Structure 1
Amino acid sequence: MLRGMGMLRLLICCVILIWPVVSRAEAVSLVGDGVFGPARGLITRTAMPAQVAPNGASLFAGNAAGSLFAPFPTALPQGASLGADADVVAHIRAIIGRAESPFAGYDAVQHGAVIRPDKPPTQMTIGEIFAWIAATPGQPHAIGRYQFIPDTLARVVAQTGARHSDRFSPAMQDRLADVLLADAGLPAFMAGQISQQRFMNNLAGIWAGLPTSSGRSKYHGIAGNQATVSLAYFQAEIAKIAPG
Protein backbone atom coordinates (compact mmCIF):
# COMPACT_ATOMS: atom_id res chain seq x y z
CA MET A 1 0.00 0.00 0.00
CA LEU A 2 2.78 2.42 1.01
CA ARG A 3 4.70 1.51 -2.13
CA GLY A 4 1.62 2.23 -4.25
CA MET A 5 1.20 5.66 -2.62
CA GLY A 6 4.83 6.43 -3.41
CA MET A 7 4.36 5.63 -7.08
CA LEU A 8 1.23 7.82 -7.18
CA ARG A 9 3.15 10.78 -5.69
CA LEU A 10 5.89 10.32 -8.30
CA LEU A 11 3.34 10.29 -11.14
CA ILE A 12 1.69 13.47 -9.86
CA CYS A 13 5.06 15.22 -9.66
CA CYS A 14 5.86 14.28 -13.28
CA VAL A 15 2.53 15.67 -14.50
CA ILE A 16 3.09 18.94 -12.63
CA LEU A 17 6.55 19.33 -14.17
CA ILE A 18 5.40 18.58 -17.75
CA TRP A 19 2.14 20.58 -17.78
CA PRO A 20 3.64 24.12 -18.10
CA VAL A 21 5.63 23.01 -21.15
CA VAL A 22 2.58 21.54 -22.85
CA SER A 23 0.36 24.51 -22.06
CA ARG A 24 2.86 26.93 -23.63
CA ALA A 25 3.22 24.93 -26.84
CA GLU A 26 1.52 26.56 -29.85
CA ALA A 27 1.32 25.56 -33.47
CA VAL A 28 3.22 27.86 -35.80
CA SER A 29 1.48 29.65 -38.64
CA LEU A 30 2.26 29.27 -42.32
CA VAL A 31 0.42 32.51 -43.06
CA GLY A 32 1.79 35.00 -40.53
CA ASP A 33 -0.12 38.28 -40.65
CA GLY A 34 -1.66 37.59 -44.04
CA VAL A 35 -5.14 38.34 -45.31
CA PHE A 36 -6.68 35.66 -43.12
CA GLY A 37 -5.61 37.47 -39.93
CA PRO A 38 -3.24 36.19 -37.25
CA ALA A 39 -3.31 32.46 -37.80
CA ARG A 40 -3.12 30.13 -34.82
CA GLY A 41 -2.28 26.90 -36.56
CA LEU A 42 -1.17 25.19 -39.73
CA ILE A 43 -3.11 25.61 -42.93
CA THR A 44 -5.22 22.58 -43.79
CA ARG A 45 -7.04 21.73 -46.96
CA THR A 46 -10.35 22.75 -45.45
CA ALA A 47 -8.90 26.16 -44.61
CA MET A 48 -8.19 27.04 -48.23
CA PRO A 49 -10.53 29.43 -50.09
CA ALA A 50 -13.46 27.88 -51.88
CA GLN A 51 -12.99 27.10 -55.55
CA VAL A 52 -14.06 29.80 -57.95
CA ALA A 53 -17.49 29.54 -59.49
CA PRO A 54 -17.82 30.49 -63.16
CA ASN A 55 -20.79 32.76 -62.46
CA GLY A 56 -18.81 35.21 -60.37
CA ALA A 57 -20.32 38.25 -62.13
CA SER A 58 -17.01 39.51 -63.43
CA LEU A 59 -14.82 39.44 -66.50
CA PHE A 60 -12.64 37.00 -64.61
CA ALA A 61 -14.03 33.53 -64.11
CA GLY A 62 -12.50 30.39 -62.70
CA ASN A 63 -12.87 26.77 -63.75
CA ALA A 64 -14.40 25.23 -60.65
CA ALA A 65 -14.84 21.83 -62.24
CA GLY A 66 -11.37 21.51 -63.72
CA SER A 67 -7.82 21.26 -62.51
CA LEU A 68 -6.95 24.93 -62.90
CA PHE A 69 -8.30 25.67 -59.43
CA ALA A 70 -7.45 22.52 -57.49
CA PRO A 71 -7.14 23.26 -53.76
CA PHE A 72 -3.36 22.94 -53.81
CA PRO A 73 -1.92 23.81 -57.24
CA THR A 74 1.81 24.38 -57.41
CA ALA A 75 2.66 27.51 -55.45
CA LEU A 76 4.68 30.22 -57.18
CA PRO A 77 6.74 32.08 -54.58
CA GLN A 78 8.32 35.39 -55.49
CA GLY A 79 11.18 34.87 -57.93
CA ALA A 80 10.03 31.43 -59.10
CA SER A 81 10.48 30.73 -62.81
CA LEU A 82 7.63 30.64 -65.30
CA GLY A 83 9.89 29.13 -67.92
CA ALA A 84 9.87 32.35 -69.94
CA ASP A 85 11.85 35.58 -69.99
CA ALA A 86 10.42 38.80 -68.59
CA ASP A 87 9.41 40.17 -72.00
CA VAL A 88 7.33 37.07 -72.78
CA VAL A 89 5.57 37.18 -69.43
CA ALA A 90 4.90 40.91 -69.82
CA HIS A 91 3.47 40.26 -73.29
CA ILE A 92 1.00 37.69 -72.00
CA ARG A 93 0.00 39.96 -69.13
CA ALA A 94 -0.66 42.73 -71.66
CA ILE A 95 -2.95 40.44 -73.69
CA ILE A 96 -4.94 39.64 -70.56
CA GLY A 97 -5.03 43.28 -69.52
CA ARG A 98 -6.41 44.30 -72.90
CA ALA A 99 -9.19 41.73 -72.52
CA GLU A 100 -10.00 42.38 -68.87
CA SER A 101 -9.21 46.03 -68.10
CA PRO A 102 -8.52 47.94 -71.32
CA PHE A 103 -9.22 51.39 -69.86
CA ALA A 104 -8.40 51.56 -66.15
CA GLY A 105 -5.67 48.93 -66.13
CA TYR A 106 -4.30 48.23 -62.66
CA ASP A 107 -6.92 50.53 -61.11
CA ALA A 108 -9.88 48.77 -62.74
CA VAL A 109 -12.93 47.92 -60.62
CA GLN A 110 -15.73 45.79 -62.07
CA HIS A 111 -18.33 48.13 -63.55
CA GLY A 112 -21.15 46.42 -61.66
CA ALA A 113 -19.71 47.39 -58.28
CA VAL A 114 -22.15 50.03 -57.01
CA ILE A 115 -20.05 50.80 -53.92
CA ARG A 116 -16.52 51.31 -55.11
CA PRO A 117 -13.36 51.59 -53.03
CA ASP A 118 -12.71 55.09 -51.71
CA LYS A 119 -9.34 55.27 -53.47
CA PRO A 120 -7.69 53.70 -56.53
CA PRO A 121 -6.87 49.99 -56.05
CA THR A 122 -3.14 50.59 -56.59
CA GLN A 123 -3.17 52.92 -53.56
CA MET A 124 -4.84 50.32 -51.33
CA THR A 125 -3.25 47.57 -49.32
CA ILE A 126 -4.34 43.98 -49.81
CA GLY A 127 -5.98 44.19 -46.40
CA GLU A 128 -7.99 47.23 -47.51
CA ILE A 129 -9.10 45.35 -50.63
CA PHE A 130 -10.47 42.53 -48.49
CA ALA A 131 -12.06 45.00 -46.06
CA TRP A 132 -13.90 46.62 -48.98
CA ILE A 133 -15.08 43.21 -50.18
CA ALA A 134 -16.35 42.30 -46.70
CA ALA A 135 -18.10 45.65 -46.26
CA THR A 136 -19.95 45.52 -49.60
CA PRO A 137 -21.66 42.12 -49.94
CA GLY A 138 -24.04 41.41 -52.79
CA GLN A 139 -22.11 43.15 -55.53
CA PRO A 140 -19.29 42.07 -57.88
CA HIS A 141 -15.79 42.70 -56.57
CA ALA A 142 -13.48 41.94 -59.51
CA ILE A 143 -10.55 44.29 -59.15
CA GLY A 144 -7.27 45.29 -60.74
CA ARG A 145 -5.74 44.72 -64.14
CA TYR A 146 -6.47 41.00 -63.97
CA GLN A 147 -9.98 41.36 -62.46
CA PHE A 148 -9.33 39.12 -59.49
CA ILE A 149 -12.50 37.95 -57.78
CA PRO A 150 -12.39 37.45 -53.98
CA ASP A 151 -11.84 33.68 -53.77
CA THR A 152 -9.13 33.74 -56.40
CA LEU A 153 -7.47 36.78 -54.86
CA ALA A 154 -7.38 35.06 -51.46
CA ARG A 155 -5.85 31.96 -53.00
CA VAL A 156 -3.05 33.66 -54.93
CA VAL A 157 -2.25 35.98 -52.04
CA ALA A 158 -1.83 32.95 -49.78
CA GLN A 159 0.26 31.10 -52.36
CA THR A 160 2.69 33.96 -52.91
CA GLY A 161 3.02 34.75 -49.22
CA ALA A 162 1.84 38.34 -49.75
CA ARG A 163 0.84 40.09 -46.55
CA HIS A 164 -2.14 42.06 -45.36
CA SER A 165 -0.02 45.21 -45.27
CA ASP A 166 1.36 44.88 -48.83
CA ARG A 167 0.14 47.45 -51.33
CA PHE A 168 -1.97 46.24 -54.27
CA SER A 169 0.55 47.85 -56.58
CA PRO A 170 1.05 47.05 -60.27
CA ALA A 171 4.07 44.91 -59.35
CA MET A 172 2.03 43.03 -56.74
CA GLN A 173 -0.84 42.46 -59.19
CA ASP A 174 1.63 41.08 -61.73
CA ARG A 175 3.11 38.78 -59.11
CA LEU A 176 -0.34 37.46 -58.17
CA ALA A 177 -1.32 36.99 -61.82
CA ASP A 178 1.82 34.96 -62.43
CA VAL A 179 0.39 32.23 -60.20
CA LEU A 180 -2.50 31.97 -62.64
CA LEU A 181 -0.13 31.91 -65.62
CA ALA A 182 1.55 28.93 -64.01
CA ASP A 183 -1.89 27.34 -63.48
CA ALA A 184 -2.56 27.83 -67.20
CA GLY A 185 0.60 25.94 -68.08
CA LEU A 186 2.96 28.68 -69.23
CA PRO A 187 6.09 26.72 -68.21
CA ALA A 188 4.83 23.65 -70.09
CA PHE A 189 3.92 25.76 -73.14
CA MET A 190 7.36 27.36 -73.27
CA ALA A 191 8.94 23.92 -72.95
CA GLY A 192 6.92 22.66 -75.91
CA GLN A 193 4.98 20.21 -73.76
CA ILE A 194 1.51 21.56 -74.58
CA SER A 195 0.21 23.10 -77.81
CA GLN A 196 -0.54 26.74 -78.44
CA GLN A 197 -4.26 25.95 -78.69
CA ARG A 198 -4.30 24.17 -75.36
CA PHE A 199 -2.42 26.99 -73.65
CA MET A 200 -4.82 29.54 -75.10
CA ASN A 201 -7.82 27.51 -73.97
CA ASN A 202 -6.27 27.23 -70.52
CA LEU A 203 -5.91 31.01 -70.34
CA ALA A 204 -9.49 31.42 -71.56
CA GLY A 205 -10.59 29.05 -68.81
CA ILE A 206 -9.21 31.51 -66.28
CA TRP A 207 -10.02 34.88 -67.89
CA ALA A 208 -13.49 35.10 -69.39
CA GLY A 209 -12.57 38.04 -71.61
CA LEU A 210 -10.33 35.76 -73.68
CA PRO A 211 -11.87 33.54 -76.38
CA THR A 212 -11.52 29.78 -76.53
CA SER A 213 -10.79 28.05 -79.84
CA SER A 214 -14.54 28.34 -80.55
CA GLY A 215 -14.11 32.13 -80.76
CA ARG A 216 -16.34 32.70 -77.73
CA SER A 217 -15.66 33.04 -74.03
CA LYS A 218 -15.84 29.78 -72.12
CA TYR A 219 -18.37 31.57 -69.91
CA HIS A 220 -20.28 33.32 -72.68
CA GLY A 221 -23.60 34.62 -71.40
CA ILE A 222 -22.91 33.73 -67.76
CA ALA A 223 -23.28 36.88 -65.64
CA GLY A 224 -22.87 38.92 -68.80
CA ASN A 225 -19.49 37.46 -69.71
CA GLN A 226 -18.23 37.46 -73.29
CA ALA A 227 -14.93 37.48 -75.13
CA THR A 228 -13.67 41.05 -75.40
CA VAL A 229 -10.90 40.40 -77.93
CA SER A 230 -11.08 38.42 -81.16
CA LEU A 231 -9.72 34.92 -81.60
CA ALA A 232 -7.57 36.15 -84.50
CA TYR A 233 -5.93 38.76 -82.26
CA PHE A 234 -5.43 36.24 -79.45
CA GLN A 235 -3.87 33.66 -81.77
CA ALA A 236 -1.58 36.19 -83.43
CA GLU A 237 -0.30 37.56 -80.12
CA ILE A 238 0.36 34.15 -78.55
CA ALA A 239 2.07 33.03 -81.77
CA LYS A 240 4.61 35.83 -81.24
CA ILE A 241 5.95 34.12 -78.13
CA ALA A 242 5.34 30.47 -79.05
CA PRO A 243 8.52 28.37 -78.71
CA GLY A 244 10.09 27.50 -82.05
Structure 2
Amino acid sequence: MERMWGLLACVGLCLQAAFASAEALPMAARGSLLTDRNPLYVQTAVRAPNSPSLFAGKSGNSLFRPMPVSIRVPSGLGAMPFHDLGPVGQLRALIAQAEAGAKGYDAVQHGADILPSGPPTTLTIAQIYAWIDDTPGQPHAIGRYQFIPPTLRRLVRRMGLKHDTLFSPKMQDQLANLLLYEAGLHKFQSGELDRKAFMNNLAKIWAGLPNDTGQSHYHGFAGNKATMSWVYFDAQMGRIFPG
Protein backbone atom coordinates (compact mmCIF):
# COMPACT_ATOMS: atom_id res chain seq x y z
CA MET A 1 0.00 0.00 0.00
CA GLU A 2 2.81 2.40 0.89
CA ARG A 3 4.46 1.58 -2.43
CA MET A 4 1.20 2.43 -4.23
CA TRP A 5 0.91 5.82 -2.50
CA GLY A 6 4.54 6.52 -3.33
CA LEU A 7 3.89 5.72 -6.98
CA LEU A 8 0.84 7.99 -7.06
CA ALA A 9 2.83 10.82 -5.46
CA CYS A 10 5.52 10.43 -8.11
CA VAL A 11 2.94 10.57 -10.91
CA GLY A 12 1.45 13.72 -9.36
CA LEU A 13 4.82 15.42 -9.26
CA CYS A 14 5.44 14.53 -12.89
CA LEU A 15 2.09 16.00 -13.92
CA GLN A 16 2.81 19.20 -11.98
CA ALA A 17 6.13 19.53 -13.76
CA ALA A 18 4.47 19.01 -17.14
CA PHE A 19 1.87 21.70 -16.44
CA ALA A 20 4.54 24.08 -15.20
CA SER A 21 6.49 23.57 -18.42
CA ALA A 22 3.39 24.20 -20.51
CA GLU A 23 2.62 27.41 -18.64
CA ALA A 24 6.16 28.62 -19.24
CA LEU A 25 5.74 28.48 -23.03
CA PRO A 26 5.58 31.87 -24.79
CA MET A 27 1.99 32.92 -25.42
CA ALA A 28 2.52 35.42 -28.26
CA ALA A 29 1.59 34.18 -31.71
CA ARG A 30 5.20 34.41 -32.91
CA GLY A 31 5.46 33.92 -36.63
CA SER A 32 2.04 32.35 -36.97
CA LEU A 33 0.64 35.33 -38.87
CA LEU A 34 3.79 35.86 -40.91
CA THR A 35 4.21 32.47 -42.49
CA ASP A 36 3.18 30.82 -45.75
CA ARG A 37 3.37 27.34 -44.25
CA ASN A 38 0.69 24.78 -44.94
CA PRO A 39 -1.73 23.42 -43.89
CA LEU A 40 -4.18 26.32 -43.98
CA TYR A 41 -4.39 26.44 -40.19
CA VAL A 42 -1.64 26.22 -37.61
CA GLN A 43 -2.19 25.67 -33.91
CA THR A 44 -1.08 28.83 -32.15
CA ALA A 45 -0.95 29.96 -28.54
CA VAL A 46 -2.04 33.57 -28.06
CA ARG A 47 -2.46 36.02 -25.25
CA ALA A 48 -5.94 37.07 -24.24
CA PRO A 49 -6.20 40.75 -25.28
CA ASN A 50 -5.38 43.25 -22.58
CA SER A 51 -7.38 45.99 -24.27
CA PRO A 52 -11.07 45.05 -24.55
CA SER A 53 -11.83 47.35 -27.45
CA LEU A 54 -10.13 49.35 -30.16
CA PHE A 55 -11.77 52.44 -28.70
CA ALA A 56 -11.08 53.13 -25.04
CA GLY A 57 -14.08 53.38 -22.76
CA LYS A 58 -16.46 51.37 -24.90
CA SER A 59 -15.70 47.90 -23.62
CA GLY A 60 -19.29 47.15 -22.63
CA ASN A 61 -20.40 46.04 -26.09
CA SER A 62 -16.92 45.34 -27.34
CA LEU A 63 -16.08 42.79 -29.99
CA PHE A 64 -13.00 41.84 -28.03
CA ARG A 65 -13.93 39.39 -25.32
CA PRO A 66 -11.27 37.38 -23.48
CA MET A 67 -10.05 34.82 -25.98
CA PRO A 68 -9.07 31.24 -25.25
CA VAL A 69 -5.45 30.55 -24.49
CA SER A 70 -5.14 28.54 -27.68
CA ILE A 71 -6.95 29.17 -30.96
CA ARG A 72 -6.54 28.09 -34.55
CA VAL A 73 -5.19 30.98 -36.60
CA PRO A 74 -5.15 30.84 -40.42
CA SER A 75 -1.46 30.64 -41.29
CA GLY A 76 -1.83 32.84 -44.36
CA LEU A 77 -3.41 35.86 -42.64
CA GLY A 78 -0.25 37.86 -42.11
CA ALA A 79 1.30 36.61 -45.34
CA MET A 80 -1.36 38.17 -47.60
CA PRO A 81 0.44 40.53 -50.02
CA PHE A 82 -0.04 44.10 -48.87
CA HIS A 83 -1.02 45.10 -52.42
CA ASP A 84 -3.42 42.17 -52.59
CA LEU A 85 -6.21 42.89 -55.08
CA GLY A 86 -8.39 40.05 -53.84
CA PRO A 87 -11.38 40.39 -51.51
CA VAL A 88 -9.32 40.93 -48.36
CA GLY A 89 -7.24 43.66 -49.98
CA GLN A 90 -10.40 45.36 -51.23
CA LEU A 91 -11.93 45.14 -47.75
CA ARG A 92 -8.84 46.76 -46.24
CA ALA A 93 -9.09 49.52 -48.86
CA LEU A 94 -12.74 50.11 -47.92
CA ILE A 95 -11.81 50.38 -44.24
CA ALA A 96 -8.96 52.75 -45.11
CA GLN A 97 -11.41 54.90 -47.07
CA ALA A 98 -13.50 55.27 -43.91
CA GLU A 99 -10.53 55.79 -41.58
CA ALA A 100 -7.49 57.37 -43.21
CA GLY A 101 -8.55 59.15 -46.38
CA ALA A 102 -5.94 60.21 -48.91
CA LYS A 103 -2.98 60.00 -46.51
CA GLY A 104 -3.35 56.25 -46.23
CA TYR A 105 -0.48 54.51 -44.47
CA ASP A 106 0.99 57.83 -43.32
CA ALA A 107 -2.25 59.15 -41.80
CA VAL A 108 -2.17 60.61 -38.28
CA GLN A 109 -5.36 61.53 -36.41
CA HIS A 110 -6.22 65.12 -37.38
CA GLY A 111 -6.67 66.14 -33.74
CA ALA A 112 -3.00 65.48 -32.90
CA ASP A 113 -1.27 68.81 -32.27
CA ILE A 114 2.20 67.26 -32.06
CA LEU A 115 2.97 64.94 -34.95
CA PRO A 116 5.46 62.05 -34.97
CA SER A 117 9.05 62.76 -35.93
CA GLY A 118 8.43 61.56 -39.49
CA PRO A 119 5.86 59.90 -41.72
CA PRO A 120 4.53 56.81 -39.88
CA THR A 121 5.81 54.42 -42.56
CA THR A 122 9.39 55.61 -41.89
CA LEU A 123 9.17 55.01 -38.12
CA THR A 124 9.78 51.94 -36.03
CA ILE A 125 7.24 50.71 -33.51
CA ALA A 126 9.58 51.98 -30.76
CA GLN A 127 9.56 55.48 -32.29
CA ILE A 128 5.77 55.47 -32.47
CA TYR A 129 5.56 54.35 -28.84
CA ALA A 130 7.95 57.18 -27.89
CA TRP A 131 5.73 59.72 -29.69
CA ILE A 132 2.68 58.38 -27.84
CA ASP A 133 4.43 58.48 -24.46
CA ASP A 134 5.91 61.96 -25.03
CA THR A 135 2.64 63.60 -26.14
CA PRO A 136 -0.06 62.72 -23.59
CA GLY A 137 -3.47 64.35 -23.79
CA GLN A 138 -3.87 64.24 -27.56
CA PRO A 139 -5.24 61.63 -30.03
CA HIS A 140 -2.70 59.11 -31.30
CA ALA A 141 -4.60 57.11 -33.95
CA ILE A 142 -2.04 56.31 -36.62
CA GLY A 143 -1.65 54.65 -39.99
CA ARG A 144 -3.99 53.44 -42.69
CA TYR A 145 -6.23 51.72 -40.16
CA GLN A 146 -5.97 54.38 -37.44
CA PHE A 147 -4.61 52.10 -34.71
CA ILE A 148 -4.96 53.68 -31.26
CA PRO A 149 -2.28 52.99 -28.61
CA PRO A 150 -3.98 50.15 -26.63
CA THR A 151 -4.84 48.26 -29.81
CA LEU A 152 -1.45 48.81 -31.42
CA ARG A 153 0.37 47.59 -28.31
CA ARG A 154 -1.91 44.56 -27.99
CA LEU A 155 -1.46 43.53 -31.63
CA VAL A 156 2.30 44.02 -31.48
CA ARG A 157 2.45 41.78 -28.38
CA ARG A 158 0.17 39.21 -29.91
CA MET A 159 2.28 38.96 -33.06
CA GLY A 160 5.51 38.90 -31.06
CA LEU A 161 6.96 41.83 -33.01
CA LYS A 162 10.22 43.47 -32.02
CA HIS A 163 10.07 47.18 -31.31
CA ASP A 164 12.61 47.92 -34.04
CA THR A 165 10.10 46.66 -36.63
CA LEU A 166 9.27 49.31 -39.22
CA PHE A 167 5.65 50.51 -39.30
CA SER A 168 5.62 49.82 -43.02
CA PRO A 169 2.57 49.43 -45.27
CA LYS A 170 3.08 45.68 -45.21
CA MET A 171 3.23 45.61 -41.41
CA GLN A 172 0.14 47.79 -41.09
CA ASP A 173 -1.76 45.42 -43.38
CA GLN A 174 -0.65 42.44 -41.30
CA LEU A 175 -1.90 44.11 -38.13
CA ALA A 176 -5.19 44.88 -39.88
CA ASN A 177 -5.46 41.25 -41.02
CA LEU A 178 -5.36 40.18 -37.40
CA LEU A 179 -8.21 42.56 -36.56
CA LEU A 180 -10.17 41.18 -39.52
CA TYR A 181 -9.65 37.68 -38.16
CA GLU A 182 -10.89 38.80 -34.75
CA ALA A 183 -13.95 40.32 -36.42
CA GLY A 184 -14.79 36.91 -37.86
CA LEU A 185 -13.49 37.13 -41.43
CA HIS A 186 -12.80 33.39 -41.54
CA LYS A 187 -16.31 32.60 -40.28
CA PHE A 188 -17.86 35.04 -42.76
CA GLN A 189 -15.97 33.51 -45.67
CA SER A 190 -16.97 29.99 -44.61
CA GLY A 191 -20.65 30.94 -44.28
CA GLU A 192 -20.78 30.65 -40.47
CA LEU A 193 -21.36 34.41 -40.11
CA ASP A 194 -23.74 36.43 -42.29
CA ARG A 195 -22.72 39.68 -43.95
CA LYS A 196 -24.74 41.96 -41.67
CA ALA A 197 -23.23 40.44 -38.53
CA PHE A 198 -19.72 40.66 -39.96
CA MET A 199 -20.27 44.30 -40.96
CA ASN A 200 -21.48 45.10 -37.45
CA ASN A 201 -18.36 43.42 -36.06
CA LEU A 202 -16.19 45.57 -38.32
CA ALA A 203 -18.03 48.68 -37.09
CA LYS A 204 -17.15 47.70 -33.51
CA ILE A 205 -13.49 47.92 -34.49
CA TRP A 206 -13.41 50.91 -36.87
CA ALA A 207 -15.43 53.95 -35.81
CA GLY A 208 -15.55 55.34 -39.34
CA LEU A 209 -17.70 52.41 -40.46
CA PRO A 210 -21.44 52.46 -39.73
CA ASN A 211 -23.36 49.66 -38.06
CA ASP A 212 -26.86 48.67 -39.17
CA THR A 213 -28.34 51.73 -37.42
CA GLY A 214 -26.49 53.89 -39.94
CA GLN A 215 -24.29 55.43 -37.25
CA SER A 216 -20.86 54.66 -35.90
CA HIS A 217 -20.86 52.13 -33.06
CA TYR A 218 -19.01 54.91 -31.20
CA HIS A 219 -21.15 57.79 -32.42
CA GLY A 220 -20.51 60.91 -30.35
CA PHE A 221 -17.72 59.31 -28.33
CA ALA A 222 -14.60 61.49 -28.65
CA GLY A 223 -16.14 63.04 -31.74
CA ASN A 224 -16.48 59.77 -33.65
CA LYS A 225 -18.99 59.40 -36.45
CA ALA A 226 -19.44 57.15 -39.47
CA THR A 227 -17.81 58.51 -42.62
CA MET A 228 -19.96 56.47 -45.01
CA SER A 229 -23.59 55.37 -45.09
CA TRP A 230 -24.78 51.85 -44.30
CA VAL A 231 -26.23 51.63 -47.83
CA TYR A 232 -22.81 52.40 -49.35
CA PHE A 233 -21.01 50.09 -46.93
CA ASP A 234 -23.42 47.24 -47.68
CA ALA A 235 -23.20 47.79 -51.44
CA GLN A 236 -19.40 47.70 -51.36
CA MET A 237 -19.39 44.56 -49.21
CA GLY A 238 -21.78 42.94 -51.67
CA ARG A 239 -19.45 43.85 -54.51
CA ILE A 240 -16.34 42.56 -52.72
CA PHE A 241 -18.00 39.39 -51.47
CA PRO A 242 -20.70 38.51 -54.02
CA GLY A 243 -23.17 35.83 -52.99
TM over 0.5: yes
* Structure 2 unaligned residues grouped into runs of 5+: 1-23, 29-44
- Of 62, 76, 79, 1:79 maps to 76
User: What is the alpha-carbon distance in structure 1 between the residues aligned to residue 145 and residue 196 of structure 2?
Assistant: 21
Specify the SS of the correspondent of 1:104: helix
Say yes or no: does 1:100 pair with 2:95: no
> What is the aligned length?
201
Give yes or no for contact 2:54–2:151 (8 Å, CA) kept in 1. no
Say yes or no: does 1:51 pair with 2:46: no
User: What is the alpha-carbon distance in structure 1 between the residues aligned to residue 107 and residue 85 of structure 2?
Assistant: 23
* Cα distance per residue 1:141-197 (max 9 Å; x no partner): 100000000010011111222211110000000000111101111111111111111
Structure with more contact order per residue of length (Cα contacts < 8 Å, sep ≥ 6): 1
Task: Measure how far apart 1:52 and its partner are.
Answer: 3.2
How high is the TM-score relative to the length of structure 1? Answer: 0.73
Distance 1:113 1:78, change over 3 A: farther
User: What is the alpha-carbon distance in structure 1 between the residues aligned to residue 223 and residue 165 of structure 2?
Assistant: 32
Which AA in structure 2 matches 1:51? P
Specify the SS of the correspondent of 1:155: helix
User: What is the alpha-carbon distance in structure 2 between the residues aligned to residue 124 and residue 234 of structure 1?
Assistant: 32
User: What is the alpha-carbon distance in structure 1 between the residues aligned to residue 25 and residue 198 of structure 2?
Assistant: 38
**Corresponding position of 1:65:** 60
User: What is the alpha-carbon distance in structure 1 between the residues aligned to residue 73 and residue 127 of structure 2?
Assistant: 23
Q: What percentage of aligned pairs have identical amino acids?
A: 51
Task: Measure how far apart 1:81 and its partner are.
Answer: 7.7
Distance 1:44 1:236, change over 3 A: closer
Q: How does 1:166-177 map to 2 (within 5 A)?
A: 166-177=165-176
**Corresponding position of 1:181:** 180
Give yes or no for contact 1:209–1:229 (8 Å, CA) kept in 2. yes
User: What is the alpha-carbon distance in structure 1 between the residues aligned to residue 129 and residue 67 of structure 2?
Assistant: 22
Give yes or no for contact 1:216–1:226 (8 Å, CA) kept in 2. yes
Q: How does 1:147-158 map to 2 (within 5 A)?
A: 147-158=146-157
Give yes or no for contact 1:45–1:71 (8 Å, CA) kept in 2. no
How high is the TM-score relative to the length of structure 2? Answer: 0.73
**Corresponding position of 1:14:** none
Specify the SS of the correspondent of 1:240: helix
Which AA in structure 2 matches 1:167? L
User: What is the alpha-carbon distance in structure 1 between the residues aligned to residue 112 and residue 72 of structure 2?
Assistant: 30
Q: Larger % of strand: which?
A: 2
Give yes or no for contact 2:53–2:205 (8 Å, CA) kept in 1. no
User: What is the alpha-carbon distance in structure 1 between the residues aligned to residue 79 and residue 201 of structure 2?
Assistant: 15
* Cα distance per residue 1:100-152 (max 9 Å; x no partner): 00121100001111111010000000111111111111111100000000010
Which AA in structure 1 matches 2:60? A
User: What is the alpha-carbon distance in structure 1 between the residues aligned to residue 150 and residue 141 of structure 2?
Assistant: 10
Give yes or no for contact 1:101–1:108 (8 Å, CA) kept in 2. yes
User: What is the alpha-carbon distance in structure 1 between the residues aligned to residue 109 and residue 191 of structure 2?
Assistant: 35
Specify the SS of the correspondent of 2:176: helix
Structure number with bigger Rg: 1
Task: Measure how far apart 1:232 and its partner are.
Answer: 1.6
User: What is the alpha-carbon distance in structure 1 between the residues aligned to residue 99 and residue 193 of structure 2?
Assistant: 24
Deviating runs (4+, > 2 A) in structure 1?
A: 27-31, 43-46, 48-56, 65-68, 70-83, 241-244
Distance 1:53 1:201, change over 3 A: closer
Say yes or no: does 1:242 pair with 2:237: no
Give yes or no for contact 2:219–2:226 (8 Å, CA) kept in 1. yes
Q: How does 1:83-232 map to 2 (within 5 A)?
A: 87-232=86-231
Specify the SS of the correspondent of 1:103: helix
Distance 1:30 1:219, change over 3 A: closer
